[in-house]
Amino acid sequence: MTPHESAMQRRRELGQAIVRLRKGRKLSQERLALNAGIDRSYMGRVERGERSVSLDKLWAICDALHISLAELAIEAETVHLGQDPRD
């Protein structure tokens, strides 16, 4: 896998982690985006891994989810490893 492909894969995994955390809190994508001060369509692209997201926006997403950046990173790593936290 090339570095570019690896970065794309990690973006998808981060997006999947955000979706898991958002759904676990029973938040719509629109509500999460609003709470984070991010456009809903931008949030959709982040969740699909189509968008590289700045650290400032990651902090805003984490604040809206009431988690730390470290917790988001752990969730993304769980997705990367193919683990389901409900197991």
- Class of the CATH-defined domain 3-80: mainly alpha
Tell me which residue of 39, 63, 38, 48 sits closest to 17, measured CA to CA: 48
Position 82 scores a pLDDT of 86
Question: What ranges do the domains of the chain cover?
Answer: 3-80
Position 10 scores a pLDDT of 94
The pTM for the full model equals 0.89
Q: Which residues contact 39 (CB under 8 A, 6 or more apart)?
A: 33
CA–chain centroid gap for 51, Å, is 11
What distance separates the 2 farthest-apart alpha carbons in the chain?
36
pLDDT tens for 21-73 read 999 999 999 999 999 999 999 999 999 999 999 999 999 999 999 999 999 99
Confidence label for 83 from pLDDT (cuts 50, 70 and 90): low
CB count within 10 Å of CB 83 equals 10
